[in-house]
Amino acid sequence: MEKEAMEGHVNVMLPQENLRSDLPNGGIVLGHDKEISTLQEEISALRSRQRHLNRRRREALGKLIDLKGSIRVFCRVRPSISTSNIKIKSPVTVEQENIAVRAVGIKKDSSVDRVFDQESTQDDVFHEVKPILRSALDGHNVCILAFGQTGTGKTYTMEGTSDNLGAVPRAIQELFSHAAQDTSSTYSFSISMLEVYMGSLRDLLAPRQQPLFRSIEGNTTCNLSILATTSGSVQVEGLTDVAVPDLKKANQWYCRGRRSRSTSGTNVNNVSSRSHCLTRITIRRCGGVTEQVSKLWLVDLGGSERLLKTGASGLTMDEGKAINLSLSALGDVIAALRRKRSHVPYRNSKLTQILSDSLGDGSKVVMVVHISPSKDDVGETICSLGFAKRARLIESSRELSEVR
Ligand SMILES: Nc1ncnc2c1ncn2[C@@H]1O[C@H](COP(=O)(O)OP(=O)(O)OP(=O)(O)O)[C@@H](O)[C@H]1O
């Protein structure tokens, strides 16, 4: 019974044979009232036990995630996209948790919490990401970030394709499926999506579609502002937040937001994302008298890029510079958290400002660093692995007077 209660299912078997022997037409006689009231008491005791076990499960999960580190770093290697039949040996070799990069004059070994090799599937990645969703349902702010050089598969991991759904649609599905199974709490969800583009914010779910940033150079009319509340939580003023009563509605809104993203062709990716795309699921959990609100951020970061290599010029080059600057601000925040600095420079970019209540203490982060298997990308691969290393060294128990 305990195991069943922990999994959120309590099945109480009524002694139907006994009842039926007295009742040929299937009705209930008064003589059984006592039995019924005993069973009702038993059900209510089991419900209370279930709530208690759920609370303990939440505490245990929180401790487990803290032990593993408040930030978990995975690395995914994109499959080779060479069209040639000649098999070229990749400078990148991987094992379960280790990545070795070998090239002329380069010998670099890195370790992360889990490596996904070129053959890994969307299922494999989601399997590792899934436990942290429980933390979001339990009231923690959670952030799942896809980081990496342009063209290494960040959008593939987060959005996926219609045949191979990525982490965002799978996470949305998982939230609804958990909510349907948990009989001890009720949940409601809402979704927001925004794009951080050249230091400005654009609401991807605005009722009247705002003009694409890319189509109007220097346009900042879509700029939203970020407010920090006295309780330390962060609000994006005026950002559309749509209540999603079911999975179908959630997917419809997510697809709508995806279609509004700014993309452009570069030498290395012909549908390169020119911005950071942030999907926020707000979770309201009501268990008994208390309501808890938490945020799940699913972030497809713009690709870090070497501007010469991507062949970018004009607007595309400016976009690349802006992406690199905000990624460097994200790196600085992570480094400050790691060093337990009293000042964490969240304010240095819009990206880090928005995420400030979901990157610091008490929140849980999964970062999937994407790398290319190609010899031509060794320089970028080393940089991305350096970023992963810095992120991985964050300690979970720290006391910070964070500046947001
Ligand atoms: N694991 C994978 N399996 C199959 N195809 C992949 C995988 N990863 C990436 N791809 C393919 O590689 C190409 C580039 O991937 P994607 O657009 O996701 O890169 P990105 O890192 O988001 O790039 P950018 O930063 O420029 O937006 C796409 O055609 C994508 O479908």
Q: Which atom of ligand 1 is nearest to the CA of 76?
A: 1
Q: Of 252, 121, 251, give the one whose Cα is nearest residue 173.
A: 251
Domain count along the chain: 2
Distances from the Cα of 155 to the Cα of 23, 161, 371, angstroms: 63, 9, 13
The half-sphere exposure of 176 on its side-chain side, counting CA atoms within 13 A, is 15
How far apart (Å, rounded) are the C-alpha atoms in residues 110 and 99? 5
pLDDT along the chain (404 residues), means of 10: 43 47 53 82 86 76 62 92 72 89 88 93 95 90 93 95 96 96 91 90 80 44 76 88 97 92 55 80 88 94 69 67 86 81 88 91 89 92 90 54 40
- Are residues 145 and 88 both part of a single domain? yes
Residues 137 and 127 sit within 8 Å (Cβ to Cβ): no
- CATH number of domain containing 134: 3.40.850.10
- Are residues 53 and 90 both part of a single domain? no
How far apart (Å, rounded) are the C-alpha atoms in residues 326 and 196? 9
Q: Which atom of ligand 1 is nearest to the CA of 120?
A: 1
Q: Is residue 63 a part of any domain in this protein?
A: yes
Please report the pLDDT score of residue 54 as a whole number: 76
How far apart (Å, rounded) are the C-alpha atoms in residues 33 and 294? 44
- Write down which residue in 68, 85, 118 finishes a domain: 68
The two tokens of residue 379 are 């320089």
Q: How far is the CA of 360 from the centre of ligand 1 (A)?
A: 29
Q: Please report, in range form, the residues annotated as the binding site for ATP.
A: 148-155
The half-sphere exposure of 284 on its side-chain side, counting CA atoms within 13 A, is 10
Q: Is residue 399 a part of any domain in this protein?
A: no
Q: Which domain holds residue 21?
A: 1-68
Strand partners, 102: 107
- Are residues 287 and 187 both part of a single domain? yes
Strands 276-287 and 290-300, sheet pairing = antiparallel
Q: Is residue 401 a part of any domain in this protein?
A: no
Residues 193 and 365 sit within 8 Å (Cβ to Cβ): no
- Are residues 87 and 63 both part of a single domain? no
Please report the pLDDT score of residue 34 as a whole number: 76
Q: Is residue 351 a part of any domain in this protein?
A: yes
How far apart (Å, rounded) are the C-alpha atoms in residues 117 and 100? 12
Give this complex's ipTM: 0.98
Residue from 76, 155, 275 whose mutation best tests the ligand 1 pocket (most atoms within 8 A of CB): 155
Return the DSSP state at 347: G
Helix, strand and coil content of the chain, in percent to the nearest 5, comes to 40, 25, 35
- Are residues 8 and 156 both part of a single domain? no
Return the DSSP state at 163: S
Return the DSSP state at 302: P
Q: How far is the CA of 150 from the centre of ligand 1 (A)?
A: 8
- Are residues 172 and 156 both part of a single domain? yes
- Are residues 36 and 170 both part of a single domain? no
The two tokens of residue 385 are 């692995």
Please report the pLDDT score of residue 84 as a whole number: 64
- Are residues 226 and 98 both part of a single domain? yes
Residue from 75, 76, 78, 305 whose mutation best tests the ligand 1 pocket (most atoms within 8 A of CB): 78
Residues constituting the chain? 404
- Are residues 58 and 172 both part of a single domain? no
The two tokens of residue 369 are 């660093």
Return the DSSP state at 94: E
The 3-class SS string of 58-77 reads HHHHHHHHHHHCCEEEEEEE
Please report the pLDDT score of residue 395 as a whole number: 52
Q: Is residue 404 a part of any domain in this protein?
A: no
- Are residues 86 and 37 both part of a single domain? no
Q: Which atom of ligand 1 is nearest to the CA of 273?
A: 27
- Write down which residue in 68, 87, 106 finishes a domain: 68
The two tokens of residue 350 are 């819009």
Residues with beta carbon inside 6 Å of ligand 1? 78-79, 148, 150-156, 269, 271-273, 302-303, 370
The owner of tokens 């309590």 is 10
Q: Is residue 303 a part of any domain in this protein?
A: yes
Q: Is residue 354 a part of any domain in this protein?
A: yes
| Nearest CA, atom 6, ligand 1 | 153
Q: Is residue 374 a part of any domain in this protein?
A: yes
- Write down which residue in 17, 37, 68 finishes a domain: 68
- Are residues 207 and 281 both part of a single domain? yes
How far apart (Å, rounded) are the C-alpha atoms in residues 349 and 100? 32
Strand partners, 190: 243, 282
- Are residues 78 and 219 both part of a single domain? yes
Q: Which atom of ligand 1 is nearest to the CA of 370?
A: 21
> What is the secondary structure of 243-296 as a DSSP string?
EE-SHHHHHHHHHHHHHT--EE--SS-TTEE-SEEEEEEEEEEEETTEEEEEEE
